[in-house]
Structure 1
């Protein structure tokens, strides 16, 4: 926000998620029709989950990142944040495509991009679909927040099944936690990528992240910013750098082999294992950026597309999202499943703090 803190319109004492928090809160509060977020480890899908929105992380390279500030160039992607799956599909038609200013968008030349992504939308789109439930990614029963999240997600699973999906519950991703740790590149890659971005912006007030850090003009809770500023200037200086790069490919193959072995159309788990945090919990240091229990890292670090869809609300009215993960460049399948679930569940409702105007969803 321009001043102060961005609030969650569903619960003003809770976090709206990030880093695309302004977009998420603004769209949820009916201040705009659609928005674009930038997702490295979950910055589209976390605020989508916390604000009862649809948020799509596309396969990296389908949407240009030219002009967007990077964090980890291998993982960064722009993507839609909307109130409905149809809005997401419609926005994709506008933003997907090759851009010579972003070499990664050669992916858009290789993928089978439909004439319109809205052609994937069908109310019976879950009929016969096979969805694998990754129980490893659910929160602990000993955590009260996680129990509330799991209750909402389990209701969503019932809706999926009633709408015709065949649930494979559970499926297991081998070495999941180890892969999440070993494929993390923030501390090795981000300083280099941010500095390369700043160096290419003649009018920028700072030329390096070190200059920005030295001003001390950043929020004290941005622990990751401080860690990045002190990271290696050259990623190859990090002893495990190439090991981490190789692990990314193994992680993707491992997940796709799980999907292949079970003939799955998608994997499913909660976007985040806990509810949107109370601001008091954040200021008390309950988590750091890298220890916050978000499952969005899985698709990001495996290089796979994923969509967050509203699953419903807790008894206190706090939003919860589910995440569907698909195969590379298979966004149409994710949209088909998400749309059918959305129609069957009618899980989203606007926040009481910002009711819709006549005709708004």
Structure 2
């Protein structure tokens, strides 16, 4: 995922008409120069740095991405289409990498708090082009549960590495 991210973020940034950043290295530098604004001291940017440092054979990465695309088509997409589903809903964020690799939209909304007061979310994910429906579902869930509360801390004392 890190190797694909480095490649994909570059493609995405190239498509932007007006952007001060054009590469992952530019993003990292921007975050370092604007650490207070981007909260890099609190949250870090380990994933970005790991992706930037990825060294790999482009042909090998392309094969891996092609394999993952096939898995998505035969897995997630097939499940959604055969069962005529509008969304896949999962607790937490464990499915986000699968959605990201496939380029599928997803939205995470507050769902509750664990025994330590740490928030957790509910992920609503769907096929490409379903963003309006996902936003509608996520909004409905938020309104029905009213689970979101303002955080009890300014700076998190915990950090999750993905």
TM-score of the superposition, structure 1-length normalised?
0.31
Tell me the equivalent position of 1:251.
71
TM-score by length of 2: 0.63
Question: Within the alignment, does 1:225 sit opposite 2:49 as a pair?
Answer: yes
Q: Which SS does the other structure have where 2:55 is aligned?
A: coil
Residue from 314, 326, 346 that aligns with 2:114: 314
**Higher helix residue share:** 2
C-alpha separation in 2, matches of 1:228 and 1:75: 14
Which residue number in structure 1 is paired with residue 126 of structure 2?
326
Paired with 2:104 and 2:120, the residues of 1 have a C-alpha distance of 22
1:250 and 1:309 mapped to 2: Cα distance? 29
Quickly say closer, same or farther: Cα 1:332–1:307, change in 2 above 3 A: same
The answer as to whether partners of 1:252 and 1:304 remain within 8 angstroms in 2 is no
SS at match of 1:336: helix
Paired residue secondary structure (1:327): coil
Structure 1 residue 342 corresponds to structure 2 residue 142: yes
Aligned to 2:84: 263
Kept in 2, the 8 Å contact 1:324–1:334? The answer is yes
Q: How does 1:44-83 map to 2 (within 5 A)?
A: 72-73=8-9
Taking a change above 3 Å as real, the CA distance of residues 324 and 230 of structure 1, as seen in their structure-2 partners, is: closer
Displacement of 1:100 in angstroms is 6.3
Deviation at 1:314, TM superposition (A): 1.6
| Paired residues of 2:110 and 2:121 also in contact (CA < 8 A) | yes
- Once the two structures are TM-superposed, the CA of residue 249 in structure 1 deviates from its matched residue by 2.8
Equivalent residue for 1:296? 96
CA–CA distance in structure 2, aligned partners of residues 332 and 223 of structure 1:
29
| Residues 1-361 of structure 1 mapped to structure 2, 5 A cutoff | 72-73=8-9, 101=17, 194=24, 222=46, 225=49, 228-229=52-53, 231-232=55-56, 237-253=57-73, 254-272=75-93, 294-353=94-153
Deviation at 1:248, TM superposition (A): 3.9
Report if aligned partners of 1:75, 1:300 keep a CA contact under 8 Å in 2: no
- How far off is 1:221 after superposition? 9.0
SS class of match (2:72): helix
What do you get for the CA RMSD once the two structures are aligned? 3.7
**SS of structure 1 residue aligned to 2:112:** strand
CA distance in 1 between counterparts of 2:97 and 2:54 reads 22
Instruction: Determine if contact 1:269/1:323 at 8 Å carries over to the other structure.
Output: yes
The structure 1 segments of at least 4 consecutive aligned residues displaced by more than 6 Å after TM superposition are none
Larger RCO of the pair (alpha carbons < 8 Å, separation 6+): 1
Render the CA deviation track for 1:265-314: whole Å, top value 9, x for unaligned: 10122333xxxxxxxxxxxxxxxxxxxxx431011001100000101112
Could you say if the C-alpha distance between residues 226 and 76 of structure 1 is closer, same or farther in structure 2, counting changes exceeding 3 Å? Answer: same
Aligned to 2:8, the other structure's residue is in SS state coil
Aligned residue for 1:162? none
1:247 positional shift: 2.3
